[in-house]
Chain A
Amino acid sequence: MNLSILVPLLVSVITAATPLLLAATGELVVERAGVLNLGVEGMMLVGAICAFAAMFITGSPILAMLAGAAAGAVLSALFGVLVLTLASNQVATGLALTLFGLGLSALMGANFVGHPIVPLAKLAIPGLSSLPVIGPLLFSHDALVYLSVLMTGAVGWFLNHTRGGLILRGVGESDTSAHSIGHDVIRIRYYAVLFGGAMAGLGGAYLSLAYTPMWVEGMTAGRGWIALALVVFAAWRPWRVLAGAYLFGGVTVLQLYAQGSGFVLVPTQFLTMLPYLATIVVLTLMSSGSVRSRLAAPACLGKPFRPVS
């Protein structure tokens, strides 16, 4: 295999991984704060349609990205009111959020189906982009690709090296201890949930602005669930989320190439299934208590908290 095939292949791995990375990084922060938001798929979809609509109407990529993030955040705020303020069951509420997002995005997108937009521009970095191999591989992407990697690094730094990160982890580890020390558990969880929503929205925006620049109903095609599985897969560590997202991206692309090149050892349907199969396995493991503790999940993950005062 020569470079002229390998480089585009790797570039497409990066693009396939980016929406997963964005959404999973957001969800990681949410879960480290002790909240399980299963509504990632729904928030991605609403982010995708809002970003697409903003792009179609205003033509401004910046506004489009902001619209995607804002839409995800608004949806997650709804989730926050239900599970944090009203202390409802997080699993049920998250599932409902996904269904709601699915329906809402279809409704909002009814008039946008089939319209073309200008895809997100690739940002050329002077000097670096023209390097052979490295240039096209690493330095000729759109803004969201760079942002996704930067955000993962920033989240890793925030969680492990700042006081805010310490408190956020503390809230996920023991809500009662954090409360008795005097940290406002509910407020910190709201921040985390909103951040997670915005990141999921951006992940969706990447799909409709860059990955396939158009609106198709249900276009996330289960990526929200893959992002959820990635967080567990990565044992709640940001850098492992990065590795995991690129691995899942790689599997997705390989399967496309295998289909395209007529390379058939196993039926392609099996390859198509792979990412989803892995997701189901990981999500099932996650709900089993013993595995959860071995994976060092935040101890209060999914537990509602009601402060007394």
Chain B
Amino acid sequence: MEGNLSQTTLTAGHTAGTDERLDLRGITKRFPGVVANADVSLAIRPGEIHALLGENGAGKSTLVKIIYGILQPDEGEVRWNGTPMIIPNPHAARALGIGMVFQHFSLFEAMTVLENVAIGLDSPEKPSKLAERIRGVSAAYGLPLDPLRDVHTLSVGERQRIEIVRCLLLEPKLLIMDEPTSVLTPQEVGRLFETLRKLAAEGCSILYISHKLAEIKALCDRATILRGGRVVGGCDPKVETASSMASLMLGAQIKPLARRATTALGPSRLVVGGLDLPADTPHGIGLRGISLDVRAGEILGIAGVAGNGQNELFLALSGERTVETPGTIMIDNTRVGHLGAERRRALGLCAVPEERNGHAAVPEFSLVDNAVLSGHRREKLLAGGLIRAGRALDFATRIIKSFDVRTPGPGAAASSLSGGNLQKFIVGREILQKPGVLVVSQPTWGVDAGAASAIHAALLSLTSEGSAIVVISQDLDELLAISDRIAVINVGVLSAARPTASVSLEELGLLMGGMHEADVAKAASPEREMADAP
């Protein structure tokens, strides 16, 4: 591997058109009702980290699926090291040295890490030898992974490592990463970047897709920007700013978030007092003594490293898991702890879960049907047990319009939407129901900068109508931008909420790392501590 790659490193850095590793010319791909890629050309040199930017539905995933052989282009040519190629399937792509980490992971939950790796290799290998190789690669690149663990017991970050290790075992010449960091913690992102830089230094080309422009700036050498399936330009991320890249991407300036004037807060709308909830799976996190209070017109942000009880807290608030003591959760002074999601929805609590496929939306259902599933009561979409088709269609159409969901129409299946567009749809579906209390988990997960600011603006305008909102997110910048108060969840315990204006990133980081509030206060302001001492 070493010798092989260092040779290619010698050719890195040349700019002549002939030594491009991958050269796409005029790629066009049509789906029923959409042109996902139109005449896309793109070239990547050995050892280069190339960013592919574009808003939701711009065609980024489609393009990389074509490179990896999952989709076939309708027109255009793919050149590999200068030779025109047809890549009929992923086997052929891997044989060329192309590896891919998918936006939606391609893993098998009921199997071990070892089996998950083996199934993605093209030649059979003895399990013991393969396990040895996995350990070797994960040590060499700092990606700790136990080959014998079952995948369903692993965190999202660990799952992604499987995908990366699977690619690295192929000794790739081109590694494609489709939004790899949207589910990682800041520490995991740091570690991933180290790995990618190391690979690039060895001569591997990397095609990197992300909506996080700050990351692109930190990592990538060049960028190609897609809009509506077309290349609209390229840039050097090192010299651009995040906002100049965003405006290139959207073809318009992003409006800075207008924070509303702090109005007087209304009465408490969601009150939780001493909520305990045991873990329901062997690897779940139990909630201990959770208390919070959100008032009308307020956004409470909940930060935390993934897997610290956010899912459990979400389920407890939304009513998917109930508790026996009704009084631990109150919506507008009604005791609801024992009520399920449907009853809570009737009382005004709507919820947007983190996982959009299968939890927030039924992928095979049309957008109209998905709109009916959660909106039927508050939007009065049922009459005597029958669906009022006209009203349902109207509701779905309103969501699509208000939230700029890019789709051929309300009859499209949820699974045909790009990730970010489906996210806009499910967030919009709940916001348009004008809930008294809204609980949202990762509202802008995988959403482009323009749509993210639209979702944030919609949340803020909902509060000005007197709703109380809980936002659970791993994105600290997001929480700092929109919430009035922030609390941190760590192994199932929620810290006291503090006004956003008075917390620093550093303090949040320490709380997320499991330090106690008193210690954080000390660590953050040692001089104050000394001044207080007699």
> A: which residues have CB within 8 A of B?
162-163, 166-167, 169-170, 173-174, 176-183, 296, 299, 308-309
Please name 29 pairs of A and B residues whose Cβ atoms are closer than 8 Å in the assembled complex, sorted by A: A163-B118, A163-B124, A166-B115, A167-B119, A169-B111, A170-B115, A170-B119, A173-B108, A173-B110, A174-B107, A174-B109, A176-B104, A176-B106, A177-B105, A177-B107, A177-B108, A178-B108, A180-B70, A180-B90, A180-B106, A181-B119, A182-B70, A182-B89, A182-B90, A182-B91, A296-B110, A299-B109, A299-B110, A309-B71
Q: Kindly provide the distance from the CB of A83 to the nearest chain B CB, expressed in whole angstroms.
A: 16
| Cross-chain pair count, CB within 8 angstroms | 55
In the assembled complex, the Cα of A308 lies from the Cα of B110 at a distance in Å of 25
> B: which residues have CB within 8 A of A?
31, 69-72, 89-91, 93-94, 102, 104-111, 115, 118-120, 124
Q: Which residue of A lies closest to B122 (CB)?
A: A182
In the assembled complex, the Cα of A162 lies from the Cα of B118 at a distance in Å of 11
In the assembled complex, the Cα of A162 lies from the Cα of B120 at a distance in Å of 14
Q: Point out the residues of chain B lying under 8 angstroms from A296, CB to CB.
A: 110
A173 in contact with B106 (CB, 8 Å): no
A308 in contact with B71 (CB, 8 Å): yes
Q: Point out the residues of chain A lying under 8 angstroms from B31, CB to CB.
A: 308
B108 in contact with A170 (CB, 8 Å): yes
Q: Which residue of A lies closest to B65 (CB)?
A: A180
In the assembled complex, the Cα of A299 lies from the Cα of B31 at a distance in Å of 28
B111 in contact with A170 (CB, 8 Å): yes
Q: Kindly provide the distance from the CB of A179 to the nearest chain B CB, expressed in whole angstroms.
A: 8
Q: Kindly provide the distance from the CB of A224 to the nearest chain B CB, expressed in whole angstroms.
A: 27
A180 in contact with B115 (CB, 8 Å): no
In the assembled complex, the Cα of A181 lies from the Cα of B109 at a distance in Å of 15
B90 in contact with A181 (CB, 8 Å): yes
In the assembled complex, the Cα of A50 lies from the Cα of B93 at a distance in Å of 46
Q: Point out the residues of chain A lying under 8 angstroms from B124, CB to CB.
A: 162-163
In the assembled complex, the Cα of A174 lies from the Cα of B106 at a distance in Å of 8
Q: Kindly provide the distance from the CB of A110 to the nearest chain B CB, expressed in whole angstroms.
A: 44
Q: Kindly provide the distance from the CB of A55 to the nearest chain B CB, expressed in whole angstroms.
A: 41
In the assembled complex, the Cα of A178 lies from the Cα of B70 at a distance in Å of 11
Q: Point out the residues of chain A lying under 8 angstroms from B70, CB to CB.
A: 179-180, 182, 309
In the assembled complex, the Cα of A45 lies from the Cα of B436 at a distance in Å of 61
Q: Kindly provide the distance from the CB of A33 to the nearest chain B CB, expressed in whole angstroms.
A: 13
In the assembled complex, the Cα of A116 lies from the Cα of B375 at a distance in Å of 67
Most buried by B among A173, A181, A296, A299: A181
In the assembled complex, the Cα of A82 lies from the Cα of B111 at a distance in Å of 30
Q: Point out the residues of chain B lying under 8 angstroms from A166, CB to CB.
A: 115, 118-119
In the assembled complex, the Cα of A167 lies from the Cα of B106 at a distance in Å of 13
Most buried by B among A167, A170, A179, A296: A170
Q: Kindly provide the distance from the CB of B169 to the nearest chain A CB, expressed in whole angstroms.
A: 13
In the assembled complex, the Cα of A178 lies from the Cα of B109 at a distance in Å of 12
A173 in contact with B109 (CB, 8 Å): yes
Q: Point out the residues of chain B lying under 8 angstroms from A169, CB to CB.
A: 108, 111
Q: Point out the residues of chain A lying under 8 angstroms from B102, CB to CB.
A: 180
Q: Point out the residues of chain A lying under 8 angstroms from B118, CB to CB.
A: 163, 166
Contacts A163-B124, A182-B90, A182-B91 given; does A177 touch B72 at CB 8 Å: no
- Given contact pairs A174-B107, A177-B106, A309-B72, enumerate 8 new A-B contacts (beta carbons under 8 Å): A163-B118, A166-B118, A170-B108, A174-B109, A178-B119, A180-B106, A182-B89, A182-B91
In the assembled complex, the Cα of A296 lies from the Cα of B118 at a distance in Å of 21
In the assembled complex, the Cα of A170 lies from the Cα of B107 at a distance in Å of 9
In the assembled complex, the Cα of A70 lies from the Cα of B307 at a distance in Å of 52
In the assembled complex, the Cα of A106 lies from the Cα of B5 at a distance in Å of 68
Q: Point out the residues of chain B lying under 8 angstroms from A173, CB to CB.
A: 108-111
In the assembled complex, the Cα of A170 lies from the Cα of B115 at a distance in Å of 9
A-B complex: 9 closest residue pairs judged by Cβ atoms = A182-B90, A177-B106, A163-B124, A173-B108, A180-B106, A170-B119, A182-B91, A182-B89, A181-B120
A182 in contact with B111 (CB, 8 Å): no
Q: Kindly provide the distance from the CB of B140 to the nearest chain A CB, expressed in whole angstroms.
A: 23
Q: Which residue of A lies closest to B102 (CB)?
A: A180
In the assembled complex, the Cα of A29 lies from the Cα of B299 at a distance in Å of 52
In the assembled complex, the Cα of A289 lies from the Cα of B119 at a distance in Å of 27
A182 in contact with B105 (CB, 8 Å): no
Contacts A163-B124, A166-B115, A309-B71 given; does A182 touch B108 at CB 8 Å: no
Q: Point out the residues of chain B lying under 8 angstroms from A178, CB to CB.
A: 106, 108, 119
In the assembled complex, the Cα of A130 lies from the Cα of B104 at a distance in Å of 62
In the assembled complex, the Cα of A41 lies from the Cα of B79 at a distance in Å of 53
In the assembled complex, the Cα of A309 lies from the Cα of B87 at a distance in Å of 12
A181 in contact with B106 (CB, 8 Å): yes
Q: Kindly provide the distance from the CB of A117 to the nearest chain B CB, expressed in whole angstroms.
A: 45
Q: Which residue of A lies closest to B123 (CB)?
A: A163
Q: Point out the residues of chain A lying under 8 angstroms from B93, CB to CB.
A: 182
Q: Kindly provide the distance from the CB of A299 to the nearest chain B CB, expressed in whole angstroms.
A: 7
Q: Kindly provide the distance from the CB of B134 to the nearest chain A CB, expressed in whole angstroms.
A: 15
Q: Point out the residues of chain B lying under 8 angstroms from A179, CB to CB.
A: 70
In the assembled complex, the Cα of A182 lies from the Cα of B67 at a distance in Å of 13
Q: Kindly provide the distance from the CB of A180 to the nearest chain B CB, expressed in whole angstroms.
A: 4
Q: Point out the residues of chain B lying under 8 angstroms from A176, CB to CB.
A: 104, 106
Q: Point out the residues of chain B lying under 8 angstroms from A170, CB to CB.
A: 108, 111, 115, 119
Q: Kindly provide the distance from the CB of A138 to the nearest chain B CB, expressed in whole angstroms.
A: 33
A182 in contact with B110 (CB, 8 Å): no
Q: Point out the residues of chain B lying under 8 angstroms from A174, CB to CB.
A: 106-109
